[in-house]
Amino acid sequence: MTFITRFAPSPTGPLHLGHAYSALLAHDLAREADGVFLLRIEDTDTSRARIAWEEQIYDDLNWLGLTWQTPVLRQSEHLERYNKVLMSLADKGLIYPCSCRRSDIRAALSAPQEGVTAPLVYPGLCRGRPMSSRKPGDALRLHMARALEHLDAPATLMEVGPLHCGSQVVSMDALLNKTGDAVLGRKEIETVSYVLAAVIDDAAQEVTHVIRGADLFDTTPLQVVLQKLLGLPTPVYHHHRLIRDDAGKRLAKRDDARAIAKFRADGATPADIREMVGLAPKFERAAQG
């Protein structure tokens, strides 16, 4: 089986050192396995995505020496396909509309029963609503309890990253009490959430290994459940360490001082970027291995 992985940035800001580490690692591992490296543009957030940032992504990754298959999958061009999958879950009775505002949820979570700690997940205020009651602007949530009842076997995943290595059974208790009824369709725009779109695209692109930052580890159980519900394969997951700033904080797109473009403008080379993120060039890694 061919090793296929992907780097899937959102064009909502400049790529920083954390993105460089993730892209370089995925690219290196694909090349070492004589596999395939894909680039996917996750631009479903049309209110924030910008063509200029997308063009900067291509430019920065080319400068780093990365190559990928074309054409690049742009999620904004596949919204109808995602929504068909979302509606297939609705047809199974696993989706319900939700009109709750953040203030409604905060209010419901602020008054737990005596002696009970307030839950950290959506409290189910709209859980009893049928899809026929959907209104413009409603979000669409997964009915987690019903979803888990639809599984014919425990959901499992294989993690090969250094932080969470080994075969793991997805905890139903954690899904109910920590993940809860996740939003799969956003109310701001008519499209599905990142979590569902990524599941659909990973299957469509036959991705065998998902290589990404440890900050996304907690979304994996939900994605595995969605894969099982939709009859899709579950790839192998590799969650890697995060690149942090001097204070130990995870880098974000607002950290322009650590943007790849900024280092390029200051005269850095691709080798310098590799050194900054702790990745030796591929030929050095092969010699060391």
Spatial distance between the Cα atoms of 92 and 262, rounded to a whole number of angstroms: 49
pTM: 0.88
Q: What mean pLDDT is predicted for residues 264-287?
A: 80
Structure tokens given for 262:
């900024």
CATH of the domain at 151: 3.40.50.620
The 10s digit of each residue's pLDDT in 5-41 is 999 999 999 999 999 999 999 999 999 999 999 999 9
pLDDT band at 288 (very low <50, low <70, confident <90, very high): very low
Q: Which of 154-158, 221-225, 233-237 has the lowest mean pLDDT?
A: 154-158
User: Residue 139 has what pLDDT?
Assistant: 92
User: What is the residue whose two structure tokens read 């780093």?
Assistant: 64
Percent of the chain with pLDDT over 90: 74
- Count of domains in the chain? 1
Residues sharing a CB contact under 8 Å with residue 60, sequence separation 6 or more, in sequence order: 14, 15, 20, 260, 261, 264
Q: What mean pLDDT is predicted for residues 132-156?
A: 94
User: Residue 121 has what pLDDT?
Assistant: 81
For 233, the domain range is 4-288
The 10s digit of each residue's pLDDT in 68-122 is 999 999 999 999 999 999 999 999 999 999 998 876 666 655 544 333 344 468 9
Q: DSSP labels for the chain?
A: ---EEEE---SSS--BHHHHHHHHHHHHHHHHTT-EEEEEE----TTT--HHHHHHHHHHHHHTT----SSPEEGGG-HHHHHHHHHHHHHTT-EEEE---HHHHHHHHTSPPTT-PPPSS---TTTT--GGG--TT-EEEE-HHHHHHH-SS--EEEE-SSSS-EEEEPPHHHIIIII-S-EEE-SSSSSB-HHHHHHHHHHHTT--EEEEEGGGGGGHHHHHHHHHHHT-PPPEEEEEPPPB-TTSPBP-TT-GGGBHHHHHHTT--HHHHHHHHT---HHHHHHH-
What are the CA-CA distances from residue 111 to residues 29, 103, 138, 232 (Å)?
Answer: 49, 13, 25, 40
Q: What mean pLDDT is predicted for residues 57-68?
A: 98
Of 145, 153, 154, 132, the closest CA to residue 94 belongs to: 145
pLDDT band at 1 (very low <50, low <70, confident <90, very high): confident
User: Residue 2 has what pLDDT?
Assistant: 96
Q: Which of 26-40, 175-189, 204-218 has the lowest mean pLDDT?
A: 175-189
pLDDT band at 289 (very low <50, low <70, confident <90, very high): very low
User: Residue 280 has what pLDDT?
Assistant: 77
**pLDDT at residue 286 tops 80:** no
**pLDDT at residue 162 tops 80:** yes
Contact between 54 and 13 (Cβ < 8 Å): no
Q: Which of 7-21, 221-235, 240-254 has the lowest mean pLDDT?
A: 240-254
User: Residue 267 has what pLDDT?
Assistant: 96
Q: What mean pLDDT is predicted for residues 194-221?
A: 96
User: Mean pLDDT over all residues of the chain?
Assistant: 88
Spatial distance between the Cα atoms of 207 and 66, rounded to a whole number of angstroms: 18
**pLDDT at residue 187 tops 90:** no
Of 130, 133, 139, 134, the closest CA to residue 105 belongs to: 139
Order the strands of the 183-185 sheet from edge to edge. Answer: 95-98, 139-142, 183-185
User: Residue 163 has what pLDDT?
Assistant: 85
User: What is the residue whose two structure tokens read 């591992």?
Assistant: 29
